[in-house]
Amino acid sequence: MNIKENIRIAIFSIKTNLMRSLLTMLGIIIGVASVIAVITVGNGGRDYIVGMIRDMGNSAISLTVNTRTADDEDYFTNQDIEAVKKLDGVQYASMQSMTMCQVTANEENGFLMGVGCNTDMQMIMKSPCLYGRFFTEEEYVNGKYVGVIDVGSAMQVFGRKNVVGEYLHCTANDISISIKIIGVIDIMASMNLDTEEMMNNMSSMGGMQMMSCMMLMPAPVASMLNGSSVNRYDTINITAVDESMLDGIGTAAINYIRSIHDNYEKDCYTVTNMATYIDLLDTVINVFTVFIAAVSAISLVVGGIGVMNIMLVSITERTREIGIRKALGAKTGTILFQFLTESVILCLIGGIIGLLLGVAGAALVSYIMDVPLAVKPSTVALAVGFSSAIGIIFGVYPARRAAKLPPIEALRRD
């Protein structure tokens, strides 16, 4: 008997006992649907999270000073940054100097979180100005009182996004200056943070509601607000021309800085490679997804037992049919293959239904969680392969039992 005939008989048998077949498929449907949903959501979540980090700059590296072991002379200087920028493979390099100060704007008081940097920071963040412009090299060198405000901060302080030309009056360490806003940028998005949530958290510090804002400013201005007359920094952000050069660049930069500061004996610098975090995160999410999928796959075993049970029932009901076919010359292998085909078809139909339900469930979860839906060909192949494997594994015993029935004994059955 050919394969087409086996498939035809299998489909006829399933249709004849439709309700029983659907109930038998239920375990396979639930198992496949849960596995596919978990893998699909896991893939989408992984792509989303890893993509977020890559958007921050997969060719980015950060050099930081260990404040517990470093002395004042070990901190990074402008000369260090200029030297790092000249190293082979370095694309952009900028210091990152944080400052906090009181701020007054629109007749309201609050606080400002400033990030001191140079003109390379805009390229490192990969975020163009929404309005206005970034400060120039001349403004950075001369320490002009200008800044680029976060768009969420602009909305909170002024009630609109385009606030170019407005002023923030800042006070810290007995120093009061007015910083002119020359640009508006989405700082939070470039760092993959929720602007609204972050600003709300900042605004309600200490249980009190107050105005808060974030701004990029020339590093000399941030240093002045910190009460320092010397420009020293604890962080340098670097981007490389090629991601493969990151480790080498980080090592070269730190060694060069150590030679300048003559502090080889101190363990006061740390190199952080963003690509390392990407690989680590990717591995963790994959392991977690596989683990959850394996737990979900237990229901497939239950479904397979149900298939085995219903096939044994079917063989018992069709014993006389088996006897007639054997009497007419059907070989043992032919009978075995017939019932094995029926088992596989039963599981395959359940697998396809489970695949559709799993993708639908994953789409719903992805929509709710706001992550991309990642249905990969390997996921479809997994559903089909799992279903077929369950049909074969749990169908072999019933099929062998049917094939080995003696013809005379089978014909005597009612």
Q: Are strands 60-65 and 269-273 parallel, antiparallel or unpaired?
A: antiparallel
pLDDT of residue 279: 67
pLDDT, tens digit, 9 for 90 and up, residues 165-205: 999 999 998 889 999 999 999 876 555 444 444 445 444 44
262 is written with which tokens? Answer: 């003559």
Q: Is pTM, for the whole model, over 0.85?
A: no
pLDDT-based confidence at 396, cuts 50/70/90? confident
pLDDT-based confidence at 124, cuts 50/70/90? confident
Q: How far, in Å, are 44, 58, 250, 269, 281 from residue 51 at the CA level?
A: 10, 9, 23, 28, 11
Would you state the torsion angle of the CA atoms of residues 28, 391, 24, 295, taken in this order, to the nearest 10 degrees? Answer: -30
pLDDT of residue 27: 80
Helices (H), 92-234: 121-125, 137-141, 151-158, 187-190, 195-203, 219-225
State the Cα–Cα distance between residues 381 and 352, nearest whole angstrom: 11
Residue 82 has pLDDT above 70, yes or no: yes
pLDDT-based confidence at 276, cuts 50/70/90? low
pLDDT, tens digit, 9 for 90 and up, residues 224-240: 998 876 788 989 998 88
The residues facing 184 across adjacent strands are 131, 149
User: Rounded to a whole number, what is the largest CA-CA distance in the chain?
Assistant: 107
